[in-house]
Amino acid sequence: MLRYYVCCLFSLSVCLCKPLHADQGLLIQHRSAQPIAALIGLPAAAVRSEGTQFQLSIEHSNVFMGGASRTEELLLDGETTALYARLSKRLSQCWQTDAALVFLSHDGGFLDRPIETWHGIFGLPNAFRDLAEVDSLEYFYQSSDGAGRRVVSSERGFGDIQLSVQRFQTCEQGASLWRAGTKLGIAADDGFFGSGSTDFYIDWQSSRRQLTPRFDGSYSFGLLAPGKADNLPKQNSIVAFGSLGTEFNWSSSLSIIAQLDWHSPFFDSSLVELGRVAGQFTLALRKKLKGGNAIEVSFAEDIVTDTAPDFSVRLGWRQSVGRRQ
């Protein structure tokens, strides 16, 4: 309940504060998901580009969760590394396009022992990690109607491509924006690279809003329509999602960002890992460099147990070229 009230107060403070027109967006693109949810086309926060922007990022996440009911079984134990390449291009003062490609690697990893130690130090739930083999890989789902997927050895391959177009409401860089996009189901659908379906979404992102002279805030809300996917749990036809973020401007080039990402359940499942509202908290450091460069380092953890990776880290770099006049 405490987490619920804190999130509500944070949301209200961001929504009521004063708009601030700034060159760059506040929200970061760290949106890790557990391996089954990651197959659905949930987008990261919209990117704001003044000209052409290239972005490379690598995310590494560790997950351990599972459960069983009369109709379903689930075990997700392993680590996933995702390498993202994103290209954003401003077409005019009002319009921008965006394309993102991801390369995925699933393996047993190396973080099980450090995470168990971390949980022990701070008294956090360990979800029976100590009963499982250390640094092993098994992503497994099976339903009574025959749907299922399983990975027990290291796999690497490309994931689905995401495309979007967005419009700035007042045709200014710092304005609120609308975005429509799709995830094309082109990746292999027999493992954990893609769902085999095409998904569509629409969302709205606020402008950067001033909380105090050194604190800014931003938020977004959207709806996702997943396509029908084989060998996955029964999907919900509409999924709501959003982000809430605040940024502390330490200096003109260095800032600290705290962000909450959430989404309603993707699946109509009796398992809490699949049928519960998901929440993830991210803490990030952003450093702006000369020549239109910037780097981001972020750490994320699930704030709704077993709905996101137990631990996720991201390193991102972006380069902006040119500026629309």
Q: What is the DSSP string of 140-187?
A: EEEETTS-EEEE-S-EEEE--EEEEEEEETTSSTTS-EEEEEEEE--S
Give 210 or 129, the one with higher predicted confidence. 210
- DSSP-assigned letter for residue 42: P
Compute the distance between CA of residue 102 and CA of residue 119 in angstroms, rounded to an integer: 30
Q: What is the pLDDT of residue 117?
A: 66
Residue 206, pLDDT above cutoff 60? yes
Mean pLDDT over 3-13 rounds to 40
Mean pLDDT over 307-320 rounds to 91
Using alpha carbons only, give the angle 101, 42, 150 rounded to the nearest 5 degrees: 80
Per-range mean pLDDT, top range of 27-41, 116-130, 147-161, 254-268: 254-268
Compute the distance between CA of residue 168 and CA of residue 48 in angstroms, rounded to an integer: 9
> What is the token pair recorded at 89?
């291009």
pTM here is 0.86
Sign, CA torsion 41/298/102/169: positive
Instruction: Please count the other Cβ atoms lying within 10 Å of the Cβ belonging to residue 129.
Output: 18
Mean pLDDT estimate for the chain = 86
Task: Name the strand (E) or helix (H) holding 200.
Answer: strand 199-205
Structural domains present in the chain: 2-321 (2.40.160.40)
pLDDT one-digit tens code per residue, 124-180: 666 655 566 767 899 999 998 888 899 989 999 999 999 999 999 999 878 999 999
Q: Which amino acid, residue 195?
A: S
Task: Name the strand (E) or helix (H) holding 295.
Answer: strand 293-302
- DSSP-assigned letter for residue 14: H
Helix and strand numbers, DSSP H then E, in the chain: 3, 17
